[in-house]
Amino acid sequence: MLSVTQLEEIIYKCREENNGAQTALYRLFSSKMYGVCLRYARDSSEAEDILQEGFLRVFTKIRQFEFKGSFEGWMRRIMVNTALEKFRKNDRLYPVEEMSIYEATNWVDETISSITADDLLRIIQELPPRYRMVFNLYAIEGYSHLEIGEMMNISEGTSKSNLSRARIILQKSVAENFGNEKKLVKKVL
Amino acid sequence: MTTENHPIDQLFKEKLGSLEKNPPAGLMDQISAKVAFRGKIRRMNQVKTAIGIAAAMLLIMMAGWYSMDQTRIAKNQMPLQIPQINTPALAKTNQESLDIKPTVNQIAANQHTIQTTPAKNTSLQSAKPSKSLTVQKNKVVSASVSDGASLLAAQTASKEPSKAAKQEENTVKTKAAEEKTVVKEKSKTESGSNNFQKKNPPLYFADAGVVKQTPSRESGKGNWGITAELSPSVASQSVSGATANTTQQSTVSGGMLASYQVSKRIKVSSGIRFSQMKQDTHTSYTLSQTSGITYLQPVDKAANLAGDVSLYLPAVSSIVYSNGMKTNPTDNFTSDIAQELKYLEVPFQATYKIIDTYLSVGVTGGLSTNFLVGNHAIITQNGINLSNGSTGNVRDILFSSSAGIEVGYGLAKNLIITIEPRIKQYLNSVSSNDQVNYKPTQIGIFTGLTFSFN
């Protein structure tokens, strides 16, 4: 386990553009950050791009880190922002699809325990980009709809709508793959 | 931040919130390579920015130097020389002349006298060595101490000044006293101004001319830009039948232009530019007078490139030189004339980029309207200024076309330096005199610095 002092030393050396320190920092946080990137990307290839660009920004902006708060949190925000920028560049309008929603799903402990992270990762990556972004930011990162609206340049209502649709799709996917009770209640546009 | 207890949210947060996955091997090597590359780019950009700033400062300094140089040349064209006079009375008079106005010294140095009226000379010369002072509004102020032939004429004149002559003399003295006061006050003002200038050194700004030149790598549609440009220019004449010896002088032109990128390769620009024409001509003139203004009309019309020359002198009966030689208005008068015309140019030009990379190459062409803002002529003989005036029959508005090849290099993201050899052809004659057909061609190498807004 790395001590705070050791981490600070690595950060200071990274500020001096020390290659060894940069490599050490990458080894320390790359797996966690890659996990973040995978959630925001549609596949592993896009996640690698985000990770690469994210670390480049970390190394070039590391002087801006003022040792206030968690360094990991700071890196995580950079990764999320990098993913958001990539999303903005590639943002396209997706047709509103006809989808089915499930009014209720009986989640039992057995079902939950049988679902792996890779399974959920695959499901979340299949979401339309806008829904994936909103769901990640709201459900996992914990941002409010107001914050998400500002980050994504959309209204608060749009953010709520996107989250709702994302949940519906995810619920459907999970239920189809892992649910023990499927009940189609209505269709929405 | 806020969360909501939704089963889907909880499920994904639990399973993916702290997800860790090892990225593919070799990714760090790619990151390291990119970090090194970006470091190089950043250092190069810093160097380019420094070069751009240096180039901009150079342009400003050149414009400042040029401005100062013009002031110095103007002063040199009116040398102040005091003739060597042994008579104490004359020396005293010269001292008074010095106090009156620099122009007095200038004329004295030129060692010629413009005789206004015989009565004036007679009256003044009877009291002491003659001093004539004549003020012509806005044009020429001449006062001179006569020597040579005029002084001899004064000695033979009547020793008893008439009443009218005395009155005239008093008038002259009063005017001289007034002038003296004005000069002293002006001197004080200038002294104060000098002190101010010492504390606040003058700033010189480049005569800018803007040509919108979007950096080649940022040559997107709809970009605005602004360019400052400066160029040394030389002109050639296209006058047929000229027998005079005319020398074209090099000038400096520059300005500021705003431009708009219409498409990836085409941009249009307009703004304002300062340009000049300068020439020295040695030829013969005939003198004529109308309403108190003396005109020098070239014997060979075509030889005087810009037309007739008007000298704003008081009514003269003759021009007398220090050697006693007189030139009558009807005589041919051979001298050197330096002409200078200044224009403010409003160009409308387009540029088409043939090569659109970091080093861009494009062709430019356009039309300009030139507004006359300065007209100055100096008559000299044997290196001595005889008088100042202006060139007559000069059109106030000229039209010209231009074409050039522009080479640009991006110094930074929004900064580009350009060099453009450009040829400019005037489309109508500078002179409105039918006998003078003067449409000069000017060639310049414009160095510009463009900042684009995008």
Which CATH number covers residue B409? 2.40.160.20
Contact partners, residue B232, CB within 8 Å, separation at least 6: B250, B251, B252, B444, B445
Do both B412 and B275 map to the same domain? yes
Please provide the average confidence, as pLDDT, over all residues in chain B: 66
For chains A and B, count residue pairs whose Cβ atoms are closer than 8 Å: 104
Please name which of B422, B371, B373, B375 lies closest in space to residue B398, comparing C-alpha atoms: B371
C-beta pairs of B63-70 under 8 Å, 24+ apart in sequence: B63/B204, B63/B205, B63/B206, B63/B207, B63/B230, B63/B254, B64/B203, B64/B204, B64/B205, B64/B206, B65/B204, B66/B207, B66/B252, B67/B204, B68/B204
Q: Could you give the CA distance from residue B355 to residue B267 in angstroms, rounded to a whole number?
A: 14
Among A110-124, A138-152, B61-75, B332-346, name the one with the lowest average pLDDT. B61-75
Interface test with B, best of A111, A138, A169, A181 (most B CBs within 10 A): A138
Q: Return the CATH number at A49.
A: 1.10.1740.10
Chain B residues touching A147 at Cβ < 8 A? 1
**Closest Cβ–Cβ partner in B13, B17, B20 for A31:** B20
Q: How confident is the model at residue B102 (pLDDT cuts 50, 70, 90)?
A: very low
Q: Could you give the CA distance from residue B316 to residue B295 in angstroms, rounded to a whole number?
A: 11
Closest A-chain CA to B5: A139
Question: What's the structural domain count of chain B?
Answer: 2
Do both A84 and A106 map to the same domain? no
Instruction: Give B297-306 pLDDT, tens digit per residue.
Output: 666 655 555 5
pLDDT at B293: 60
Domain boundary among A38, A71, A90: A90
Do both B121 and B238 map to the same domain? no
Give B427's DSSP letter: S
pLDDT at A100: 47
Domain boundary among B159, B180, B199: B199
Judge whether B108 lies within some domain.
yes
Q: How confident is the model at residue B296 (pLDDT cuts 50, 70, 90)?
A: low
Q: How confident is the model at residue B382 (pLDDT cuts 50, 70, 90)?
A: low
Do both A141 and A79 map to the same domain? no
Q: Which residue has the higher pLDDT, B29 or B195?
A: B29
Contact partners, residue B104, CB within 8 Å, separation at least 6: B97, B98, B133, B142, B143, B144
**Closest Cβ–Cβ partner in B3, B17, B32 for A22:** B32
Q: How many residues does chain A have?
A: 189
Q: What is the mean pLDDT of residues B239-258?
A: 73
Do both A104 and A164 map to the same domain? yes
Segment (H or E) for B103: helix B102-110
Closest A-chain CA to B39: A60
Say whether B24 and A48 touch across the interface (CB within 8 A).
yes
Among A70-79, A135-144, B273-282, B308-317, name the one with the lowest average pLDDT. B308-317
The pair of three-digit structure tokens given for residue B14, joined into one six-digit string: 């639990």
Do both A79 and A112 map to the same domain? no
**Closest Cβ–Cβ partner in B1, B19, B35 for A144:** B1
Do both B223 and B192 map to the same domain? no
Do both B248 and B354 map to the same domain? yes
* ipTM value greater than 0.85: no
**B63, amino acid identity:** A
Do both B194 and B252 map to the same domain? no
Interface test with B, best of A49, A59, A79, A114 (most B CBs within 10 A): A59
Q: Is A101 on the interface with B (CB under 8 A)?
A: no
B48: distance to nearest CA of chain A, Å?
20
Closest B-chain CA to A47: B23
B250: distance to nearest CA of chain A, Å?
51
Do both A11 and A50 map to the same domain? yes
pLDDT at B37: 85
pLDDT at A80: 93
Closest B-chain CA to A22: B32
Indicate the SS3 state at residue B409. Answer: strand
What does pLDDT average to in each consecutive run of 10 residues of chain A (189 residues)?
A: 80 88 91 92 91 92 86 92 86 49 54 80 90 92 90 89 91 78 39
Among A95-109, B90-104, B358-372, name the one with the lowest average pLDDT. B90-104
Chain B residues touching A117 at Cβ < 8 A? 15-16, 19
Q: What is the mean pLDDT of residues B61-77?
A: 61
Among A3-12, A33-42, B159-168, B201-210, name the one with the lowest average pLDDT. B201-210
Closest B-chain CA to A32: B20
Q: Is A3 on the interface with B (CB under 8 A)?
A: no
Q: Could you give the CA distance from residue B37 to residue B312 in angstroms, rounded to a whole number?
A: 69
Among A92-101, B115-124, B219-228, name the one with the lowest average pLDDT. B115-124
Domain boundary among B175, B199, B223: B199
Identify the top-confidence range among A8-12, B258-262, B285-289, B365-369: B365-369
Question: What's the structural domain count of chain A?
Answer: 2
Q: Which residue has the higher pLDDT, B11 or B150?
A: B11
Do both A108 and A166 map to the same domain? yes
pLDDT at B381: 66
Distance from CA of residue A49 to its chain's centroid? Answer: 14
Do both B219 and B172 map to the same domain? no
* B413 CB-side CA count, 13 A: 5
Domain boundary among A56, A90, A124: A90
Closest B-chain CA to A166: B8
B262: distance to nearest CA of chain A, Å?
25
Identify the top-confidence range among B20-24, B141-145, B293-297, B304-308: B20-24
Judge whether B422 lies within some domain.
yes
Closest B-chain CA to A124: B12
Q: Return the CATH number at A179.
A: 1.10.10.10
Q: What is the mean pLDDT of residues B238-263?
A: 75
Q: Range of B125's domain?
A: 88-199
Q: What is the mean pLDDT of residues B308-312?
A: 55
Domain boundary among B167, B199, B231: B199
B4: distance to nearest CA of chain A, Å?
8
Do both B264 and B347 map to the same domain? yes
Contact partners, residue A81, CB within 8 Å, separation at least 6: none
pLDDT at B61: 66
pLDDT at B283: 72
**B363, amino acid identity:** V
Chain A residues touching B30 at Cβ < 8 A? 52
Decide if B441 contacts B235 (C-beta within 8 A).
Answer: yes
Do both A157 and A118 map to the same domain? yes
Do both B104 and B222 map to the same domain? no
Do both B131 and B230 map to the same domain? no
**Closest Cβ–Cβ partner in B1, B16, B35 for A56:** B35
Decide if B442 contacts B233 (C-beta within 8 A).
Answer: yes
Q: Could you give the CA distance from residue A43 to residue A89 in angstroms, rounded to a whole number?
A: 17
Please name which of B348, B367, B361, B350 lies closest in space to residue B261, comparing C-alpha atoms: B350
Closest B-chain CA to A28: B22
Q: Range of A48's domain?
A: 4-90
Chain B residues touching A174 at Cβ < 8 A? 8, 11
Q: Could you give the CA distance from residue A139 to residue A137 in angstroms, rounded to a whole number?
A: 6
Enumerate the β-bridge partners of residue B114: B319
Do both A83 and A110 map to the same domain? no
Q: What are phi and psi of A6, to 5 degrees?
A: -65, -40
Judge whether B436 lies within some domain.
yes
Do both A75 and A109 map to the same domain? no
Chain B residues touching A138 at Cβ < 8 A? 3-4, 9
Q: Which residue has the higher pLDDT, B50 or B177?
A: B50
pLDDT at B278: 85
Q: What is the mean pLDDT of residues B374-386?
A: 73
Domain boundary among A36, A57, A90: A90
Do both A122 and A152 map to the same domain? yes
Interface test with B, best of A13, A25, A34, A141 (most B CBs within 10 A): A34
B414: distance to nearest CA of chain A, Å?
22
Residue B369 has pLDDT above 90, yes or no: yes
Q: How confident is the model at residue B235 (pLDDT cuts 50, 70, 90)?
A: low
Q: Which residue has the higher pLDDT, A23 or B116?
A: A23
Do both B219 and B193 map to the same domain? no
Q: What is the mean pLDDT of residues B98-110?
A: 41
Identify the top-confidence range among B140-144, B235-239, B256-260, B284-288: B256-260
Judge whether B147 lies within some domain.
yes
Do both B222 and B146 map to the same domain? no
**Closest Cβ–Cβ partner in B2, B4, B20 for A35:** B20
Q: Which residue has the higher pLDDT, A45 or B98?
A: A45
**Closest Cβ–Cβ partner in B9, B21, B35 for A139:** B9
Q: Which residue has the higher pLDDT, A178 or B374?
A: B374
pLDDT at B371: 94
Q: Could you give the CA distance from residue A143 to residue B13 in angstroms, rounded to a whole number?
A: 13
Say whether A142 and B2 touch across the interface (CB within 8 A).
yes
Q: How confident is the model at residue B76 (pLDDT cuts 50, 70, 90)?
A: low
Say whether A139 and B6 touch across the interface (CB within 8 A).
yes
Q: Which residue has the higher pLDDT, B408 or B106?
A: B408
Do both A71 and A118 map to the same domain? no
Do both B272 and B356 map to the same domain? yes
Q: Could you give the CA distance from residue A23 to residue A3 in angstroms, rounded to a whole number?
A: 17
Say whether B12 and A135 touch across the interface (CB within 8 A).
yes
Contact partners, residue B307, CB within 8 Å, separation at least 6: B391, B392, B393, B394, B430, B431, B432, B433, B436, B438
Q: How confident is the model at residue B247 (pLDDT cuts 50, 70, 90)?
A: confident
Interface test with B, best of A16, A55, A111, A122 (most B CBs within 10 A): A55
Among B192-201, B250-259, B327-336, B387-396, name the one with the lowest average pLDDT. B192-201
Do both A139 and A75 map to the same domain? no
